[in-house]
Structure 1
Amino acid sequence: MSADPDRLKERTAEAVRRGRDATIDLSHRIHARPELGHEEVEASRWLAEALTEQGYEVEAGVCDLPTAFRARIGSGSLDVGLMAEYDALPGIGHACGHNMIASAAYATARALAPLADELDLTVTVLGTPAEEVLSRGGKIMMLERGAFEGVQLALMIHPSPYEHPAPQTLAATTLDVAMTGRAAHASAAPQEGVNAADALTVAQVAIGLLRQHLRPDVRVSGITRSAGEAPNIIPDRARAEYVVRATTLDDLAEVRSRAEACFQGGALATGCRVELGSGIGPYAELRQDPDLAASYRENATAAGREFAPDEAVARFLASTDAGNVSHVIPTLHPFIGLDTLPVVNHQADFAAACATPAADDALLAGAALLAATVVDAATRPELRARLIGAGRS
């Protein structure tokens, strides 16, 4: 590319600034109307409409997912995928800041659209539902069903208490636990009952004891969804949902088997029957592309962004279905910092922080940095050639 990369980055940054009001309005609308995974009707529609106004051709309901979409502009040889998340959490709304993620994807797409021909780009925006639904993550389904075909690099930005260009995440899988016993009168004939709630209790104690033997980077967490209907009836059914996380998919398989043994032990100890299910597939660990991460770091440093120490971010381990994308397509998934500590993601106070002036500034900064990173990918010959060669086809 003969164009001056610095000048191109100035143009994308200016485009982000010009779109400030529309971007913030989109973020605040999504924030004010939180929708759960696979129910993001308004958020996906608003984002699709905003992209249409910028000249993108939008396909709604792709991959047989009503709230997924794909939007494209340009026909260049480098296909850039911008991932937009917009689902909320039960009870606490946008406590992971997906309103910011969706709006940053829009702002980046808006900034890149006028440069698509000049940079020989195809810009693809993928509306990816249900990132928070670990049993039915939207990106996994969209990846398997072809939505990412042709995309050669995938980018998004995620709000966090920390700023970091390439944080790591854990592989994760769900355990859907169903215990079945036998009901009985809890006072008149308790000896006739087989208590499914007791089976869960034994299993939970076993998991608690197991934790002392697990590595520090392993997580096992869960909730009981039901454990009886009335205190004078021995519960014959109990359900729980657990999430098991580990550093890699290989590690995850071993940890999952140990967690399953705890539930099987609870069933055995109480005479119950246990059924263990899972969702569509595990979330893979995130593999950040080193060249894209280096470019992002360079651009963020030039913009005056300051990163948290690696050791602090290394302890802040979550999971994302973008990890599955990163095993197939070169991927960048930075954290944009909101400086909220001790408040962290998945707390109500973090939801409140994601619609503040500081959050608005952060998402616009993140969008400008993603656009600058795309400029580098398009104009650095070796990087461009590698990405075109490595993309999904």
Structure 2
Amino acid sequence: MREAITLKEAAQESVRERSEELLAVSHTISANPELSMQEFASSALLVDAVASLTGVTAQTGTGGLETAFQATAGSGELKLTICAEYDALPVVGHGCGHNIIATAALGAFVALAPLADELGMTVRLLGTPAEENGGGKVKLLDAGAFEGTHAAIMVHPAPLDNVSMNPYASNGLKVRFIGKEAHASLAPHEGVNALDALTVAMTAVGLARQQLKPGQQIHSSISEAGGAPNVIPGTAAAMWMVRGDSLDSLEEVTQVVERCINAGALAAACEVTIEKKTKGCYSNILLDHELIELYRENALHIGRTPADIAPLGGSTDMGNVSLVVPSIHPMIGLNNPELTLHTAEFAAAAAGPAGDAAALDGAILLAQTAIDIATTAKVRERLLGSNPLAQTQ
């Protein structure tokens, strides 16, 4: 096998040679945002790009998800999975820059495919839909799509570089209050006001925030709040998102929100239904510091200077993957501290020159980190010696 530095140079050259095709993928995904589990065009675009750039035919419908796919190169004993995300957000489109994630993952696969057997690796590009709200990776884990994987890697865009994201564990609650409609003037006493229940619940949650522990958060949005003002609302609905810095912390704050919701129902004499994502809960990340340091060294070598692990913030289903497969989730910067994720401004930047640089650098860094994983004896031996999908937090 050639020296690691030579293989890294070859990987970088592959990405640079294919930069025009790769950036065309990024720009197309950005310009055509698709919501979670609806990423039909983006998924098809990536599958076609894999075939045209590597000659590998991707398999679609991975794990029973229509917009998931996988493409594999090499047959070595060390199995590496590169995760691609490509779903967008409502209103702001690719305000989380998933066009960069998908392009970096594709570029890394393009660079590694011809090197996989020389590295003694099986390299897989895994298209993972619905990161924003659908828990695509959680569903893929449940379906066995990560079985046999020794390490999973991806990059995520951000305003600035960090060696790793530091996400909250999170969950969502869909809540519906059911009361009874009545004429608000002629017979208000015959109604049961579901909006009152929601108002009490929102107020209770607002007050409860004072007693939350550090590392706990609650967010909400109202999806239904009655119609005409002269009708007592018979139904009202909202969504809550809860976060904690660990799964135990998440459970604590979830119980707080549920108490507040039930208090609103009790106060207004309404019925209430609470739907939790029992299998869609996102975990915090289990950091693999050895893999993180490999990424950091490569980032420094190509001229990026990532800060340490990012402050606690956001959530991702890559956290669930990290609990069972050694993983990295570095943040690759657009070199603009004024940017904020989940905004139209970030979406625009992610499709501009800074986003293009992040996509190509991300591809190079993933490929070079994979080469280090394969050629660093102690890392390779640890991963091969571990029991994939059997790690505990």
Question: What TM-score, normalized by structure 1, do the two folds share?
Answer: 0.96
Question: What TM-score, normalized by structure 2, do the two folds share?
Answer: 0.96
Contact 1:31–1:93 at 8 Å: present in 2 too? Answer: yes
Structure 2 counterpart of 1:268, one-letter code = L
Cα distance in 1 for partners of 2:179, 2:386 equals 52
1:88 paired to 2:85: no
What's the counterpart of residue 229 of structure 1?
Answer: 227
1:131 paired to 2:117: no
1:29 paired to 2:28: yes
What's the counterpart of residue 195 of structure 2?
Answer: 197
Q: Gapped runs of 5+ residues in structure 1? A: none
Cα distance in 1 for partners of 2:209, 2:177 equals 22
What's the counterpart of residue 14 of structure 1?
Answer: 13
1:208 alignment partner, one of 201, 206, 209: 206
- Choose 38-47 or 206-215, whichever is displaced more: 206-215
Contact 1:164–1:308 at 8 Å: present in 2 too? Answer: yes
Matches within 5 A, 1:1-393: 2-53=1-52, 54-133=54-133, 136-279=134-277, 280-308=279-307, 313-315=310-312, 317-390=313-386, 392=388
Structure 1 counterpart of 2:37, one-letter code = H
Cα distance in 1 for partners of 2:339, 2:58 equals 37
CA drift of 1:273 comes to 1.1
The residue matched to 2:58 in structure 1 has which SS? Answer: strand
| 1:115-155 alpha-carbon deviations (Å, 9 max, x no partner) | 0111011111111110011xx31100001101111211000
Structure 1 counterpart of 2:33, one-letter code = P
Cα distance in 1 for partners of 2:373, 2:195 equals 55
Cα distance in 1 for partners of 2:354, 2:73 equals 31
Structure 1 counterpart of 2:380, one-letter code = R
| 1:170-223 alpha-carbon deviations (Å, 9 max, x no partner) | 100111111011110011111111111111111111111111111232110010
Query: Could you list the runs of 4 or more consecutive aligned residues of structure 1 that deviate by over 3 angstroms after TM superposition?
Result: none
The residue matched to 2:242 in structure 1 has which SS? Answer: strand
Structure 1 counterpart of 2:149, one-letter code = V
Structure 2 counterpart of 1:56, one-letter code = V
Count of residue pairs brought into register by the alignment: 387
Structure 2 counterpart of 1:233, one-letter code = V
| 1:345-382 alpha-carbon deviations (Å, 9 max, x no partner) | 11111111110011101111111111111111000111
Cα distance in 2 for partners of 1:201, 1:162 equals 39
CA drift of 1:309 comes to 6.0
The residue matched to 1:118 in structure 2 has which SS? Answer: helix
Change (3 A) 1:344 1:49: same
Structure 2 counterpart of 1:339, one-letter code = N
CA drift of 1:306 comes to 1.8
Change (3 A) 1:161 1:217: same
Structure 2 counterpart of 1:97, one-letter code = G
Cα distance in 2 for partners of 1:351, 1:275 equals 36
Cα distance in 2 for partners of 1:24, 1:296 equals 22
Contact 1:124–1:151 at 8 Å: present in 2 too? Answer: no
Cα distance in 1 for partners of 2:150, 2:194 equals 49
Cα distance in 1 for partners of 2:56, 2:240 equals 40
